[in-house]
Amino acid sequence: MRKCASLIAVAVIILSGMAASCSKKGTSLKEYAADVLTTTPRGEFSGKLYVQGGESRMELPNSIIIARQDTGTVQVFMSAKKFYLELPMKPEYVYAVDGKFPGEVSRERVGTEKVDGRDADKYRVTYKLGDKGVTVYQWVCTKSGMPLKTAAVDGTWSYSLSNIKGGSQPDELFELLPGYQKLNIPMPQFKTNQ
């Protein structure tokens, strides 16, 4: 259960940012599907990501998470129990997918590497999260400007996209799933590793 909660926490942060930033002008891809690989201390998890305008959906082994900029919510669907949680999209959940983190205070280019066969500039980025400073590495595609990977400087977690395919996504991917019951419980605060 803790493994699942850890994965969901990372996914909520990622998807909130996807929905928020992909609705902004200038984002390189507003509609796409991609494979996602998330690595945490609790394991490695793969899934599928769909993004369309201000909406995003991540399909994981035991859950589906939908973030919607238009409603300002993130919905976490737990497949085995047929329930879902609805969370507000908070600034601390936002993950930078348009190149800049909320509260960013510094960005230093530290090299160029390949990510999923694409040339990417690697940055060391520091941003404020509440009263703490968080430092991560971020790889941004040199051609499109789209972030392809983000990782903790200490290597404890990472998130990367691969097999990115641009194009319109079906609207029904971003709607409430039928047959699920909404749970109304407060969501715990997530801590970010530095």
Is residue 118 within a helix (H) or strand (E), and if so which, with residue range? strand 118-129
Position 48 scores a pLDDT of 95
| pLDDT tens-digit readout, 41-79 | 988 989 999 988 878 899 988 899 898 888 888 899 998
Domain 2-180: homologous superfamily in CATH: Lipoprotein localisation LolA/LolB/LppX (2.50.20.10)
Cβ density class 17-36: b for 16+ within 10 Å, e for less: bbbbbbbeeebbbbebbbeb
Provide the residue type at 157 as one letter.
Answer: W
Position 186 scores a pLDDT of 63
Position 1 scores a pLDDT of 45
| pLDDT tens-digit readout, 102-158 | 788 999 999 999 999 999 999 999 988 778 888 999 999 898 888 899 999 999 999
User: How do the domains of the chain map onto residue ranges?
Assistant: 2-180
Classify 14 as helix, strand or coil: helix
Do the strands 31-40 and 43-52 form a parallel or antiparallel pair, or are they unpaired?
antiparallel
